Chain A
């Protein structure tokens, strides 16, 4: 990390970061897992590992990030899946047993698994 020398440096960094895609390689799916205390208590840790394993099994690359609590704790573990250029879609109560179907349908086939969906995160959030 380089030290920001002045306010303009911060603005430049922000602009670069906003333009830069979240993934190193363009086009990778981004999976965000709610891993605040509420998520972890609901089993987000197991879900996280299940997602890692499932991706490996399919030899898929994706960015896995852990995020905090978005508010609706009762639906944790919450998992958001965002395919490149697509809305960020949230799934509720994602247990390890749900993971194979989510990866298979959402990431491999591009089909939203409607029965587990909460909604999508609007881009202006």
Chain B
């Protein structure tokens, strides 16, 4: 049976709002995310119907490789992986390198906790990456490319594989693309889970089949990269923006965003925020607009405390920085980094010392161990922070954090070691009083650090319902029915489950 129902006119208007009027989308400009959630990513036809591969056709038939580089340079596009280096200049370096063959590489080793920008593009619009990389290959003179994607993204890899196969079948990839004589082959290399492989020299070592360890730069990949040949490494988002820039022009792109950071920024909004999700906003937008207008503010009526940008190698910004413009330079100036786009929001219930310790645990565990400052420095930093959160911190620990951090920044081989102290230093800069409360008063203001808090039951509020007794995993609570219960501080593991299950708000945390 086939039927053609229609909507009742009055059931549609005027109550339904367009996406472009919804608070979540109103301030967004979708360039790299243009097709995400709109097209079926498994069908190349849906991409082509939305002008897909037209930029590639234009580049191959109307533009010289130098023209393409000029367009990217004029657009002002800066690498979306985090460092913000001018993409056009990077391409030019690679083009000018004499050695051949050359390689185009996409860094899709998105490893930051709470970041899923690259994954969403690979899953939702893989052809934009394929097209962007092919244009880059034409511009620099490469005929082979690699997408280095973490194996923890099976769906992204599956969709990308499909995209590559389909593009090959249409002659949009492979030999003699669109009959122009230009050829480009694209391969996928799955990462094996090491965070450091997001660093470009480690990434290339991993593609070569070697251990994922970084090496000093220079030489930069543009001169000597994969298999010591000139290579261009960009992030997924940078490549995904390329077709739009080639299609709509450098002027169009540079008119969006901030003067020194044109275009859009993509963020994965997570943590204590109402609208968890993926956003693409013009550079220069205020943090406040992202967190309150787009993100919908903090849930449960709690107050905003800080936002971590740049993941475990970035930094946090406090409420006083909410009016900071979100672009590469302003964020660095304010004490954080742009990073590749993770944005983790925390509220008043988060202890900033513990928060910094969490990221440090991650970064130090992911140190590849090749250079001493990162391998040993990360451990010693973590020990100092652990002492503070456990209530054994001394004022000397703050000096030690400072000393180790500076050494790591100066002497580490790659960005992983250089930026590992970032979250600690930013927390210390903006929330020093919390560190001091842990050290001098042996108190955790957010009531999180287990070594510094005690649970007790307020006898007047306790109804004696025994719910907490049944839920306590260490049998630390005693009492009988309809009699106020008591927590044995010695046995209590400070898991907080009693406070969660108590219906009478009778559990006190101090």
Contacts and interface: CB of A to CB of B under 8 A. Distances in A.
Contacts, number: 179
Contact of B25 (A34, A36, A71, A87): A71
Nearest to B165: A1
Interface string B1-17: 11111111001100111
A117 B15 CA distance: 10
A36 B120 contact: yes
A64 to B, nearest CB: 10
Interface size class on chain A is 35 or more
Nearest to B36: A68
Given A34-B37, A84-B4, A121-B38, A5 B179 contact: yes
A57 interface: no
B5 A14 contact: no
A69 B178 contact: no
Interface in B20-54: 20-22, 24-25, 28, 30, 33, 36-42, 45-46, 48-49, 51-54
Interface stretch (A46-54, A93-101, A108-116): A108-116
Interface residues of B, number: 66
B61 interface: yes
Contacts of A2: 170
Interface in A1-45: 1-7, 9-11, 13-14, 17-18, 25, 27-29, 32, 34, 36-38, 40
Contacts of A70: 36-38, 124
B274 interface: yes
B275 A72 contact: yes
Given A28-B2, A34-B37, A36-B123, A72 B170 contact: no
A122 B19 contact: yes
Nearest to A10: B57
B178 A10 contact: yes
Interface of A: 1-7, 9-11, 13-14, 17-18, 25, 27-29, 32, 34, 36-38, 40, 59-61, 65-74, 78, 83-87, 89-90, 106-112, 114, 117-122, 125
Interface of B: 1-8, 11-12, 15-22, 24-25, 28, 30, 33, 36-42, 45-46, 48-49, 51-54, 57-58, 60-61, 116, 119-120, 123-125, 153, 155-156, 166, 169-172, 178-180, 274-280
Q: 3 closest pairs, A vs B, by CB? A: A68-B124, A70-B37, A27-B4
